[in-house]
Amino acid sequence: MKICIFGASSNNIDPTYIAGTEILSETLAKRGHTLIFGGGANGLMGAMARGFTKGGGYIIGVAPRFFDLPGVLYQQCDEFVYPDSMRDRKKFMEDNADAFIVVPGGIGTYEEFFEVVTLKQLARHAKPIVLYNLNGFFDKLVALIRSDTETGFIRPQTEELFEVTADMNEAIALTEAGEMDIEQIRFYD
């Protein structure tokens, strides 16, 4: 299975996030999965890549050429795709992944998460989306989504489109469960 993992590119974070992401990634690699990711060498992106390298997994990095600067991209990718833009980068990852795991990150990570959830809501895909809630990182995001659901800005069914767990084994199981039946996805007006 090709698993796209979205996450932070910054090293200026609590090291427990880096360790947790690296262990998750190594475990996924040992289970025979392929990593598709933003190609970064630092932060949780670097942790993903190092974990897959340790686990003997195949790694596909995806980043526009303007990121190809010393120390920015992970040099041990098995394959590297250089799309023309950030938009094309996301499209490649979305089109080629069988599932998505979101680990803690910043604005770019949130944007990637919301895009794949929106596309799923619109029935453009039925792939698993898992928020790996290390150290409760996504608790406030989940609370925001629930609050916006209560006020009518987000449909209640939206929470059915992704899973949230702090347990690594559960995150893997939810990811490996595969696509939903497209009929389960509600079409929205």
Q: Is residue 58 exposed (0-12), middle (13-18) or buried (19+ Cβ within 10 Å)?
A: middle
Q: Tens digit of pLDDT for each residue in 122-136?
A: 989 999 999 999 999
Asked whether residue 122 is domain-assigned, the answer is: yes
Asked whether residue 187 is domain-assigned, the answer is: no
Mean pLDDT across the chain: 94
Asked whether residue 168 is domain-assigned, the answer is: yes
Asked whether residue 188 is domain-assigned, the answer is: no
Asked whether residue 19 is domain-assigned, the answer is: yes
Can you tell me whether residue 50 is helix, strand or coil? helix
Q: Which domain range does residue 163 map to? A: 2-179
Res. 189: pLDDT tops 70: no
Asked whether residue 185 is domain-assigned, the answer is: no
Q: Please tell me the total count of domains within the chain.
A: 1
List the Cα angle 159/163/165 in 5-degree steps: 130
Residue 188's pLDDT is 52
CATH of the domain at 28: 3.40.50.450
Q: What is the reported pTM?
A: 0.95
Asked whether residue 184 is domain-assigned, the answer is: no
